[in-house]
Amino acid sequence: MATQLGSDLLEHIGATPLVEIEDGIFAKLEYLNPSGSIKARIAKYMVDKAEEQGFLKPGMTIVEASSGNTGNALSMVAAQKGYAMVVLMPEGLSSERVAISKAFGAEVRELGDFHVNTALHEARLLGSQPGYFCPGQFDSELNVEENREVFGPEILADLGNDRTPDAFVMGIGTGGTLIGVGQCLHAANPSCWLVGMEPDESCTILCGDVHRHKIEGIADGFIPGIFDRHRDEVDELVAVTSLDAITEMYALARRGYLVGPSSGANLVAARRLKERHPEFSTIVTVFCDEGEKYLSEYYLGS
Ligand code: PMP
């Protein structure tokens, strides 16, 4: 497909490939988005809506708490649109994500240990100051809306008329992807089975645990508002260990997919679902972010 002359960077968010990664398991390659993750979608969507609704005006600063990818994505959107950006990130996550936001010109403040709670508190405080706008990804229904109105329909279009999704499997960070895409797929197939995934070491929703884990981007240390409001819509919650996620991440790289641990975890969960439900011929999951963000943590020297 020829690139449209004169189109701008943010128009190239989305329209990622959907590949049949294994028999009956389809992965949407979201790591190919500008800024390297699925979060480019909601970053652009939430900023566009805030501008339309008058919450965000030229000269203002965007502030957001993020375990990294939303921070990277918002930093890119802010750079394109000329806003200042402050990313509040917990310490102890992959250093590349700090570097990427800084490269886009954002200020990065690292606070709190591994989980996003402390950063989230700070973002709410700063976001309520004059001149600041905080999109609030963990609570915003716009996050759900983008996934329902844009990402979900894209998956259905990719599958074409011959296939209906039997299940959707997704790790829970904000829960926006699971819930929003789930709403769309449910509308297409009311029996579509919706599976949320958490790290076994920190299965906050399943068992109330909050511990360190290695599946960065999910299980941020609390139950997000989005998930809490929509939990009835989810059919099943499963846990995947960090070790299984990382082992699968390395295996995917050897197949040509350079992705992060949550992509590995999503595939592990999708494969287990397929084993339990061989009758499911179309299971959809997501490869969320690029492996380049984890070079120093995992791949250098591997
Ligand atoms: N994987 C990665 C790498 C992520 O950055 C995120 C978002 N934080 C997710 C999965 C989960 O997406 P969501 O926030 O929509 O639940």
Tens-digit pLDDT profile for the chain (302 aa)? 555 676 799 999 999 999 999 999 999 999 999 999 999 999 999 999 999 999 999 999 999 999 899 999 999 999 999 999 999 999 887 789 999 999 999 999 999 877 898 999 999 999 999 999 999 999 999 999 999 999 999 999 999 998 999 999 999 999 999 999 999 999 999 999 999 999 999 999 999 989 999 999 999 999 999 999 999 999 999 999 999 999 999 999 999 999 999 999 999 999 999 999 999 999 999 999 999 999 999 998 66
What is the distance between the alpha carbons of residues 137 and 61, in angstroms, rounded to a whole number?
Answer: 16
Nearest CA to ligand 1 atom 12: 173
Residue 259 CA to ligand 1 center (angstroms) comes to: 13
Q: By the 8 A CB rule, do 40 and 33 touch?
A: yes
Ligand 1 near 172 CB (within 6 A): yes
Dihedrals φ, ψ of 168, to 5°?
Answer: -130, 130
Looking from the CA of residue 69, the nearest atom of ligand 1 is 5
SS3 assignment, position 175: coil
How far is Cα 269 from Cα 246, in angstroms, rounded to an integer?
A: 13
Regarding the beta carbon of 263 and ligand 1, being less than 6 Å apart is answered: no
pTM: 0.97
Distance CA 211, CA 217 (A): 14
For residue 4, the 8-state DSSP code is P
- Evaluate: CB of 293 within 6 angstroms of ligand 1: no
- Ligand 1 pocket, residue 66 CB under 6 Å: no
Residue with token string 């716009």: 142
Are 233 and 184 in contact, with CB atoms under 8 Å apart?
A: no
Cβ of 197 closer than 6 Å to ligand 1, yes or no, is no
CB 218 near ligand 1, within 6 Å: yes
For the beta carbon of residue 131, count every other beta carbon within 10 angstroms: 10
> Ligand 1, atom 6: nearest CA belongs to which residue?
217
Per-residue pLDDT tens for 126-166?
A: 999 999 999 999 999 999 999 999 999 999 999 999 899 99
Q: How far is the CA of 2 from the centre of ligand 1 (A)?
A: 30
Residue 113 has what pLDDT?
79
Question: Is there an atom of ligand 1 within 6 Å of 221 CB?
Answer: no
Radius of gyration of the chain (CA): 18
Dist CA 54 CA 104 (whole Å): 24
Residue 198 CB-density burial (10 A; 0-12 exposed, 13-18 middle, 19+ buried): buried
User: What residues are labeled active site?
Assistant: 39, 262
Is 215 near ligand 1, meaning CB less than 6 Å away?
Answer: no
Say if residue 141 is exposed, middle or buried (CB neighbours under 10 Å; 0-12, 13-18, 19+).
Answer: middle
From the list 296, 232, 228, 212, the residue with the least C-alpha distance to 260 is: 296
How far apart are the CA of 57 and the centre of ligand 1, in A? 27
Residue nearest to atom 1 of ligand 1 (CA): 217
C-alpha 216 to ligand 1 mean position (Å): 8
| Residue type for position 159 | L
Pocket test for ligand 1, best of 38, 72, 93, 248 (most atoms within 8 A of CB): 38
Q: How would DSSP label each residue in 49-78?
A: HHHHTTSS-TT-EEEEE-SSHHHHHHHHHH
The single-letter DSSP state of residue 166 is S
